[in-house]
């Protein structure tokens, strides 16, 4: 807190000093009284916010981060150190590509599930792909598949506002860099809207596009969540949804009310906070809930994005696009 206050004072004094230097020459060229009156406060405020962003004052940075333009600048600054290496790797044979951060990289890294034996059931992760996480932006295969699809539909997505449940860093970055208008929603984590997926309180038919990745396995009543998604979806809208799917399970979804402890849920569903796992008939299950369901098939994507949904063995390589009939 002390450090933050010190930075604020530093920015305020620095801005005042630079304003004092710049104002006399500006006053000589500006004659309109309104503009002359605005020069000092306007210049000081602009310099204060610019310097606050550069030296990263937490509170001020948060205000600035609400602006899409500032977010784009920040992402670009984070990506800058990787660009040279990416250009080199673009020409190299066998390099991988992340469409979320648009970087060529040597390899994606493995998912560190063995480091969390209390969270992940090792039996479900034995054949996990070793190329999972982007070392630049942290994207996972599901994000790279989704972004590849969104890139193909960019013209239409630019005209709608996306509601993004359980925000994901790589997707936010891609949407900011592509000037997509979106709002994040979460019940527990920091987000634009605090929403319960089972009862959002949003007007019926009001949301034209929803992204809901790996949330349905966590909510207490997935049927209620699907009903709510259907209710808030605009008539021509779309939901892009994914969840863990075990292709070996010949059913829509497996639930077990007797699995109540974290350990039991981890054994049964693969992860200690999953309340269910979906099966090979997940698409039919979504259709039973009144949606038209299409698949975004990762296997049709370019191989260098390593489109295996993962990280668990049981994840199938598909995301779903839902519409109303
Ligand atoms: Zn990336």
pLDDT in tens, 24-34: 988 888 888 88
CA of 145 to the centre of ligand 1 (A): 12
CA of 95 to the centre of ligand 1 (A): 13
Q: Is residue 95 part of a domain?
A: no
At 64, is the pLDDT very low, low, confident or very high (cuts 50, 70, 90)?
A: low
Q: How many domains does the chain have?
A: 2
Summarize pLDDT for 237-246 with one digit per residue, the tens.
999 999 999 9
265 and 185 fall within a common domain: yes
Least confident of 51-55, 65-69, 81-85, 204-208: 65-69
112 and 58 fall within a common domain: no
CA of 157 to the centre of ligand 1 (A): 21
CA of 171 to the centre of ligand 1 (A): 10
The dihedral sign for the CA sequence 227, 233, 238, 244? negative
**Per-residue pLDDT at 99 exceeds 90:** yes
9 and 157 fall within a common domain: no
111 and 60 fall within a common domain: no
136 and 49 fall within a common domain: no
Q: Is residue 312 part of a domain?
A: yes
238 and 311 fall within a common domain: yes
303 and 161 fall within a common domain: yes
The span from the CA of 226 to the CA of 139, in Å, is 26
Are 60 and 53 contacting, i.e. CB atoms less than 8 angstroms apart? yes
42 and 125 fall within a common domain: no
CA of 174 to the centre of ligand 1 (A): 9
Q: Is residue 88 part of a domain?
A: no
Q: Is residue 132 part of a domain?
A: yes
Q: Is residue 220 part of a domain?
A: yes
CA of 153 to the centre of ligand 1 (A): 20
Residue 120 sits in a domain whose CATH number is 3.40.50.150
Q: Count CA atoms closer than 13 A to 110's CA, side-chain side.
A: 10
CA of 292 to the centre of ligand 1 (A): 31
Q: Which H helix or E strand runs over 294?
A: strand 292-297
Q: Is residue 196 part of a domain?
A: yes
33 and 115 fall within a common domain: no
Domain enclosing residue 13, as ranges: 5-66
DSSP for 36-77? Answer: HHHHHHHHHHHHHHHHHHHTT-HHHHHHHHTSHHHHHHHHHH
What was the pLDDT predicted at 1?
A: 40
Instruction: Express as a percent the part of the chain with pLDDT over 90.
Output: 68
CA of 146 to the centre of ligand 1 (A): 13
Q: What are phi and psi of 271, to 5 degrees?
A: -145, 145
């Amino acid at each position: 807190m002390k450090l933050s206050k010190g930075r604020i004072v530093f920015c305020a004094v620095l801005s005042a000093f630079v304003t004092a230097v710049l104002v006399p020459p500006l006053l000589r060229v500006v004659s309109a009284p309104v503009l002359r009156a605005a020069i000092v406060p306007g210049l000081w405020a602009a310099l204060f916010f610019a310097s606050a962003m550069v030296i990263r004052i937490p509170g001020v940075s948060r205000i600035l981060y609400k602006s899409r333009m500032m977010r784009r600048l920040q992402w670009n600054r984070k990506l800058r150190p990787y660009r040279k290496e990416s250009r080199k790797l673009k020409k190299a044979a066998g390099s991988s590509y992340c469409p979320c951060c648009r970087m060529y990289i040597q390899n994606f890294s493995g998912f560190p599930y063995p480091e969390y034996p209390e969270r992940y059931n090792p039996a479900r992760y034995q054949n996990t792909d070793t190329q999972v996480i982007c070392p630049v932006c942290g994207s996972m295969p599901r994000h790279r598949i989704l972004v590849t699809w969104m890139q193909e539909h960019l013209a239409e997505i630019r005209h709608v506002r996306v509601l993004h449940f359980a925000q994901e860093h790589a997707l936010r970055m891609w949407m900011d860099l592509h000037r997509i208008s979106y709002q994040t929603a979460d019940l527990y984590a920091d987000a634009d809207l605090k929403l319960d997926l089972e009862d959002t309180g949003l007007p019926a038919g009001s949301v034209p596009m929803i992204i809901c990745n790996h949330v349905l396995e966590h909510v207490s009543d997935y049927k209620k969540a699907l009903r709510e998604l259907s209710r808030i979806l605009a008539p021509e809208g779309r939901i892009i949804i994914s969840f863990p799917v075990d292709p070996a399970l010949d059913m829509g979804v497996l639930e077990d009310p007797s699995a109540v402890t974290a350990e039991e849920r981890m054994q049964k569903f693969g992860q200690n906070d999953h309340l269910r796992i979906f099966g090979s008939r997940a698409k039919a299950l979504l259709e039973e809930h009144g949606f038209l369901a299409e698949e975004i098939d990762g296997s049709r994507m370019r191989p260098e994005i390593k489109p295996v949904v993962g990280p668990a063995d049981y994840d199938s390589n598909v995301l779903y696009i839902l519409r109303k009939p």
